[in-house]
Amino acid sequence: MTQQELQHLYWRAGFGINPNKLNSFFKNKQQVVEALFDNSKSNTPIQLDLSFMEGVTSKQLKDNPEFSKEIRAKSRKKLMDLNYAWINQLVEPKELLREKMTMFWANHFVCKANSVVYAQQFNNTLRVHALGDFKAFVKAISKQAAMLKYLNGNQNRKAKPNENFARELMELFTLGEGQYSETDIKESARAFTGYNHDFDGNFVLAQPRHDEGLKTFLGKTGHFSGDDIVNIILEHKQCAAFISDKIYRYFVNPKPNQKHIEAMTGVFFKDYNIENLMRFVFLSDWFYDDANIGSKIKSPIEYLVGLTTTVPVKFEKEKDLIKIQKLLGQTLLNPPNVAGWKGDKAWIDANTIMVRLKLPSVLLNSAIIALDEHDEFKKKFMQNHKGKLPFKTIPNWTTFLENFETVSTEDLQDYVLQGTINKGTADFLKTLSKVSKQEYCIQLMSLPEYQMC
């Protein structure tokens, strides 16, 4: 594998890779890809200290409004801690591909929870199933307390079915829009009646609320349960095609190639094994086509974590991590709606591109960059913070220099930027000072091309 191909793989399967690791790799594609999967066999759950919930009961919360208010406030604060913990797990992953897949699935099985207990359970469920059996994954998601509350599944009962989850199950999670009828939604909803959870978030089937009657769904009739509905959905190749298309757009190229997606669909439909599908993608020659390298706009989290992969940086105040996510337009655990973030070109607008181009200097160089009086970044941040920097950070330039020791300053662009550099940028790079490797790195990260991976 070439340097460019290795970097491409590690931007898709992770958040970039540094030269010190790059040079230690085998050059055989099969070995490199298998190493990615081997390193993600295990699973490291996020485990916050949630001792504030010990001994708390639903009756206490119901009977004592002040106590309930206090618990909710603690839960909100802990949700911020969960955000930080997830970011840290992405920055320093023990299982790189599993963490990238977890982030992908979080924007597929979209869910938002006010309870940190349920949010942590849901996040770890994504992590457990991220490379496993898709059928078991969908069934597990349908029984998560966070999802049951988010899509009103816990209000779904016999004689008064709630159709929210049934609709999104097909439209967003498995088949795609237009692949089912309104009758299918109604019959599916009946199968999920009685789904609930206890106070700790464990799944409970409330049998008296479950509709045991005959249901006709996608052409089949029976006394179907929720698990049966999932089984029937996955019998349709459209489900494998829908997931393959989404994975292609995220991991390969936002512009779909139907020939390649059909090949992926054939692999996935055999057994719905996510690992087998991802292995097929990463081993395919077309994955490394020039057209796919540098074709994707980094999501805000990919941008932030990727920057930190190149230059490790710590925030003096963890809450500044939330500020940056909000500025860039993607706050983990807080999706805009059940459809999630649109991605690709939707990540960039007049405001977010301005923030992205200035942020490397703010985070890594104490904002030492030309800022005239009309500069929007200066107006938005410096003035709003009484002339002080909005973020206090500690960049680790020592580690950066160690990681890039074998790379000359002139060649730094080949490692920091992905894909083909246009002539205008190439000419501009020739004019930049290359005396300092650190300064040149910041200048490269301040280019529009750095937004691509």
**Residue 339 has what pLDDT?**
98
Instruction: Average the pLDDT over 187-206 and give the result.
Output: 98
Please answer whether residues 264 and 277 qualify as being in contact, where contact means their C-beta atoms are separated by less than 8 angstroms.
yes
**Residue 380 has what pLDDT?**
57
Q: Collapsing DSSP states into helix, strand and coil, what is residue 222? A: strand
User: Looking at beta carbons, which pairs linking 278-284 to residues 24 or more positions away fall under 8 Å?
Assistant: 278/37, 278/97, 278/101, 278/131, 278/247, 278/251, 279/33, 279/37, 281/247, 281/248, 281/251, 281/252, 282/9, 282/12, 282/13, 282/33, 282/36, 283/29, 283/30, 283/33, 284/260
Q: What is the pLDDT of residues 305-328, one digit of tens each?
A: 999 999 999 999 999 999 999 999
Distance of CA 314 to the CA centre of its chain: 21
* Tokens encoding 189: 């909803």
Is 207 a residue whose pLDDT tops 50?
yes
The mean-pLDDT minimum among 247-256, 300-309, 412-421 falls in 412-421
The Cα–Cα gap between 260 and 263 comes to 5
Please, what is the average pLDDT of the chain? 94
Q: What is the pLDDT of residues 91-145, one digit of tens each?
A: 999 999 999 999 999 999 999 999 999 999 999 999 999 999 999 999 999 999 9
Distance of CA 125 to the CA centre of its chain: 14
**Residue 370 has what pLDDT?**
43
- In the block, residue with structure tokens 């802990």: 78
Q: What is the pLDDT of residues 338-377, one digit of tens each?
A: 999 999 999 999 989 999 999 999 999 875 444 444 555 5
**Residue 373 has what pLDDT?**
47
Q: What is the pLDDT of residues 137-179, one digit of tens each?
A: 999 999 999 999 999 999 999 989 999 999 999 999 999 999 9
**DSSP states of 65-132:** HHHHHHHHHHHHHHHHHHHHHHHHHHHS-SSHHHHHHHHHHHTTS----S-HHHHHHHHHHHHHHTTS
> Can you list the alpha helix ranges (DSSP code H) found in 169-291?
182-191, 226-234, 237-251, 258-271, 274-283
Instruction: Average the pLDDT over 63-88 and give the result.
Output: 97
> Whole-model pTM?
0.95
**Residue 378 has what pLDDT?**
55
Higher pLDDT, 164 or 388: 164
**Residue 230 has what pLDDT?**
98
Q: What is the pLDDT of residues 210-223, one digit of tens each?
A: 999 999 999 999 99
**DSSP states of 314-381:** EESSTHHHHHHHHHHT--TT--SSTT----GGGG--HHHHHHHHHHHHHHHSTT-S---TT-HHIIII
Q: Where are the domains positioned within the chain?
A: 3-38+236-288, 134-235, 300-451
CA angle in degrees (0–180, nearest 5) for 283-284-286: 140
Q: At a CB cut-off of 8 Å and minimum separation 6, what does 75 contact? A: 114, 115, 116, 117
**Residue 385 has what pLDDT?**
56
Q: How many residues does the chain have?
A: 453
Higher pLDDT, 38 or 432: 38
**Residue 170 has what pLDDT?**
98
